[in-house]
Structure 1
């Protein structure tokens, strides 16, 4: 899935991509794990939304809904700008060549959200 870095992202593009809490949480997770499946990512985000531990999350609509949103909206947008590399056929997502441009901002959001 690896591709080379594209041109520098415009500030307005970064602001648009990070305006979504789901995309910020997606990038935060990738900052930690580097690569994951859309299923695991959807379950992780659903657990955060519900305020419960990942291990306690039941196979309910929450994870499925988040996974569908990731597949059809959030991951393709992030992939389009090289922030992630998303392989929809393999259901794999990993950091992309432009990830390092947004990582410091994502990290600041993490510190703010943890307060």
Structure 2
């Protein structure tokens, strides 16, 4: 069986490390996508006792005019790994669960754009 170049399991995103620097330019790049902004806002609105959200539930919350299944695929393969690489979310691809990470206070106003 052919594996990924980084030795991660095929079909799964490579593990993200949250040690990347979150600069203003990075924030603008990350939040340029409306789906990522909606994702962070939706996770911020999750009750404290229910810190984990399933991928399916998150997709339902942030889907606009697209089917939630299609949004879940985009979140899984692209958006959640990208947000996780900067520590803005924690995404367990095996359990399909997402937890809000720490969003710096100076980033908060950009979520509302």
What TM-score, normalized by structure 2, do the two folds share?
A: 0.71
Kindly indicate whether structure 1 or structure 2 has the higher relative contact order, using CA contacts under 8 Å at least 6 residues apart.
1
Gaps of 5+ in 2: 1-17
1:18 aligns with 2:18: no
The CA RMSD measured in Å over matched residues stands at 2.0
Show CA shifts across 1:26-84 (max 9, x none): 001011005311110111222xx13xxxxxxxxxx711100000000000000001111
Gaps of 5+ in 1: 51-60, 110-115
Would you tell me which structure has more helix in proportion to its own residues?
1
What TM-score, normalized by structure 1, do the two folds share?
A: 0.70
Figure out how many residues of one structure are paired with residues of the other and give that number.
Answer: 91
**Structure 2 equivalent of residue 55 of structure 1:** none
